Chains A and B, each alone.
Chain A
Amino acid sequence: MRQQSETQGRRNVVLHAATVPLPDDRGDFGSGVVTTLGSDDVFLSLFEYDLSSTLNELFSARGVPRVAPSDFSSSGMQRPLPGQSGGQWFFTAAHRPWTLHVVLGSHARRVSGALRVNALLSTLTIGAP
């Protein structure tokens, strides 16, 4: 987990989880990581926005999402790479606005990848700001 720069007197959170080692120098949405994913690997980024953003339509979905294999596409990444697959979910949880970005090492194995991500998400608890 890392914390972004302080804005408006508060630090926003970024959580990274992956089935590969996370390099220190990596982008918030997986730059520097996703190129190392094997076909069974997954990368997950949970990125928090300013609290005031909860009022906006982009964050109108409520609760931590569960992902479905059909949610993934080969172009759904910050930087699409051959064979990989990605998806993105905007939501508000605990009055905090987030986006969840998931990259799967293989679009062909998105069913098993989605299961692994949902297993992780089922353990996620977000506290109030």
Chain B
Amino acid sequence: MSTRDALAAVGATSAPNGAAVRAVEAVTGWLEKRTSRRGFLIRAGVVGSALAVDPSGYVLKPGTAYASVCGPGSTCSSGWTVFCATINHGSNSCPPGSIAAGWWKADGASVCGGKARYIVDCNATCHCTTPGSRPGICAPSCQSFRCSCGPSGQCDQRRVSCTQFRYGQCNEQVRQVGAVHCRVVSCTPPWRWENCSTSPATDNATVHHSAPLLPSAYTPLTARYVALGENGSRLGATIGPELAVPGGRAQRYQHGRMSRAGTGSPHITTGAIAVRYVQLGGEAGGLGFPLSDPITIAGGTASLFQHGRMSQAGSAPPHYTYRGIATRYVQLGGETGGLGFPTADPRSIAGGWASSFQHGRLSWSAATGVHHTTGSVTIRQGALGYEAGVLGFPTADPVAVAGGHRSRFQHGRISSSAAGTWEVLGLLDAAYGRSGGEAGLLGFPIAAPRSLSGSRTVSTFQRGRICASSTAAHWVRGPIADRYVSQGAEGGRFGLPTTDETHRTPSVRRSEFAGGWIEYDETTQTVTEGPT
């Protein structure tokens, strides 16, 4: 194509902007005069779309073929610049002391699904300027980094901070930068995630450049990352290549992780939840693969995993729940339910597990299943040593009763009312049950059980008391209990009750004691005792 023809072609394709052609009319005239000289040519053409696809390149050079190679021009003497991932702890981002200073694209990149791959130069920052120097690159004396080659032991041996060149489309407000420190790659145009303009530059010679610490193929994880916006997403830059993990794949990022179980959908974890997830072993740990992206909930976030859930209240450390406890937690409304956010990771207790929450606790044992406690009951449960204490594991969820509520445990109960929150244990609890419990003859407990001499214990209630030996417990109530107490109760002449209250006649109630009896006549409202 002659120069004139080429310009005509350009003019035809740039009709809305004829000035673009005029810009170089003069110089092309200068060039035309010299076209007869050997080797002095100019050719013109129109660059295709910034997102032009090269299907053949994708077909002939599938991404997986580049998994372990650095591509062409990977030696230090090649003149190209190293990838930031190689020198920045695997992070595909500008290292400290450098800023994005320009970009170009390479079309038909297999690592971008056959679309354009964008390469962003991270140029060193300058610590001084030379008076009178022109915009662009500062003097070498104002640059902090020394020219070197990529680290040994890997194939990306390209140059570090050697090339005094600026592509120019990024951070244009910065008058001068230093040498190109390293390169960042992305399938997303840099103006979407960096302070860059849209002026497209192209260099397809770099399309197969790569490094061991960069993602090397267009996988489902890469596709998802691209859809999220790559470096501009909440995940930030990639850290290292995609990883094979037991049962699937994973990719690390500055601010999170993406995981894919088998052929399932990739899901991300972010922030402190991702950090804790990795501490717990990630995909190979107890939680398994994520089943959701982060869930935004009132007061925090949560992530759902194959075998549990992790929740974070505000900026507090995240905590996880596990298996059956996590399932029950979700059934109870999760973080926005009655229990609130977890305040600790699961604790192993002899025979089971437990998780603490802002407003309660969930416990599991093989013998009892999963049950929760809430509010003051949980506080009292804690005071008694939780599941390892005298109560053992809860055997039921809380039950509302008139005036309060009750939680049952392996070795007793905790009842809560306006009279307080108190436990009733062992034989005392059995006797309490015979009296009808909280809604029965005695009402709610009003104090903790007291131990007496001789392995005796006593619990007091709104309308009576229960006294126990090491083998039996019985309750007394009302005027009979009042007389019993006035006579010294368990330490008095009557000693322990030997029966629950009975009716000697329809109107006369009677309690038997080791040292006698007490009766109450409901008709005459009199109390008598014996033997006299």
For the A-B complex, the count of residue pairs with Cβ-Cβ distances under 8 Å equals: 210
Contacts of B165 in A (CB 8 A): 29, 76-78, 86, 88, 101
Q: How far is the CB of A4 from chain B (nearest CB, A)?
A: 5
Interface size counted on chain B using CB atoms at 8 A: 66
Contact present for B200 and A7 (CB under 8 Å): yes
Contact present for A16 and B79 (CB under 8 Å): no
How does the 8 Å CB contact mask read for A85-103 relative to B, with 1 for contact and 0 for none?
Answer: 0101111001010010100
Q: Among B7, B14, B44, B199, which residue has its beta carbon within 8 angstroms of that of A49?
A: B199
Q: Among A27, A88, A128, which residue has its beta carbon within 8 angstroms of that of B19?
A: A128
Q: Among A58, A60, A94, which residue has its beta carbon within 8 angstroms of that of B23?
A: A94
The docked-state distance in angstroms from the alpha carbon of A22 to that of B31 is 13
Contact present for B20 and A13 (CB under 8 Å): yes
Interface: A20 (CB within 8 A):
yes
Interface: A115 (CB within 8 A):
no
How does the 8 Å CB contact mask read for A53-67 relative to B, with 1 for contact and 0 for none?
Answer: 100111111000100
Please choose the segment from B173-181, B214-222, B386-394 that sits at the chain A interface, where 4 or more of its residues have CB less than 8 A away.
Answer: B173-181
Beta-carbon contacts under 8 Å, B1-33 to A = 6-7, 10, 13-14, 16-17, 19-20, 22-31
Residue of A nearest to B22 (CB): A127
Contact present for A4 and B137 (CB under 8 Å): no
Please choose the segment from B34-42, B58-66, B269-277, B417-425 that sits at the chain A interface, where 4 or more of its residues have CB less than 8 A away.
Answer: B34-42
Most chain B CB atoms below 10 A, which of A50, A60, A79? A79
Interface: B351 (CB within 8 A):
no
Q: How far is the CB of B18 from chain A (nearest CB, A)?
A: 9
How does the 8 Å CB contact mask read for A8-47 relative to B, with 1 for contact and 0 for none?
Answer: 1111111111111110110111011000000001000011
The docked-state distance in angstroms from the alpha carbon of A56 to that of B179 is 20
The docked-state distance in angstroms from the alpha carbon of A61 to that of B179 is 20
Interface: A112 (CB within 8 A):
no
Looking at chain B's contact residues, is the secondary structure mostly helix, strand, loop, or mixed?
Answer: loop
Beta-carbon contacts under 8 Å, B41-78 to A = 41-50, 77-78
Contacts of B437 in A (CB 8 A): none
Contact present for A56 and B172 (CB under 8 Å): yes
Contact present for B45 and A73 (CB under 8 Å): no
Contact present for B135 and A126 (CB under 8 Å): no
Please choose the segment from B203-211, B306-314, B371-379, B511-519 that sits at the chain A interface, where 4 or more of its residues have CB less than 8 A away.
Answer: B203-211
The docked-state distance in angstroms from the alpha carbon of A94 to that of B25 is 14
Interface size counted on chain A using CB atoms at 8 A: 69
Contact present for A48 and B79 (CB under 8 Å): no
Q: Among A3, A31, A123, A126, which residue has its beta carbon within 8 angstroms of that of B29?
A: A123
The docked-state distance in angstroms from the alpha carbon of A112 to that of B22 is 29
Contact present for A77 and B163 (CB under 8 Å): yes
The docked-state distance in angstroms from the alpha carbon of A90 to that of B154 is 36
Known A-B contacts A2-B44, A58-B174; A31 and B163 likewise in contact (beta carbons under 8 Å): no
Q: Among B7, B23, B43, B205, which residue has its beta carbon within 8 angstroms of that of A31?
A: B205
Contact present for B163 and A78 (CB under 8 Å): yes
Contact present for A48 and B199 (CB under 8 Å): yes
Q: How far is the CB of A46 from chain B (nearest CB, A)?
A: 8
Contact present for B172 and A57 (CB under 8 Å): yes
How does the 8 Å CB contact mask read for B139-178 relative to A, with 1 for contact and 0 for none?
Answer: 0000000010000000000010011111111001111000
Q: Among B29, B104, B136, B137, which residue has its beta carbon within 8 angstroms of that of A27?
A: B104
Contact present for B23 and A127 (CB under 8 Å): yes
The docked-state distance in angstroms from the alpha carbon of A56 to that of B197 is 11
Interface: B265 (CB within 8 A):
no
Contacts of B201 in A (CB 8 A): 4, 14, 27-29, 47
Interface: B202 (CB within 8 A):
yes
Contact present for A28 and B202 (CB under 8 Å): yes
Q: A20-B41, A101-B165 are in contact. List 19 more A-B contacts (CB 8 A).
A: A1-B44, A5-B48, A8-B198, A21-B39, A47-B201, A56-B172, A57-B135, A57-B175, A65-B134, A75-B179, A76-B164, A79-B80, A88-B136, A88-B166, A120-B30, A120-B31, A123-B29, A124-B24, A129-B19
Q: Please list the residues of chain A having a beta carbon within 8 angstroms of any beta carbon in chain B.
A: 1-5, 7-22, 24-25, 27-29, 31-32, 41, 46-50, 52-53, 56-61, 65, 73, 75-82, 86, 88-91, 94, 96, 99, 101, 120, 123-129
- Pairs A–B under 8 Å by Cβ, sample size 6: A4-B199, A5-B47, A20-B39, A50-B198, A58-B135, A78-B203
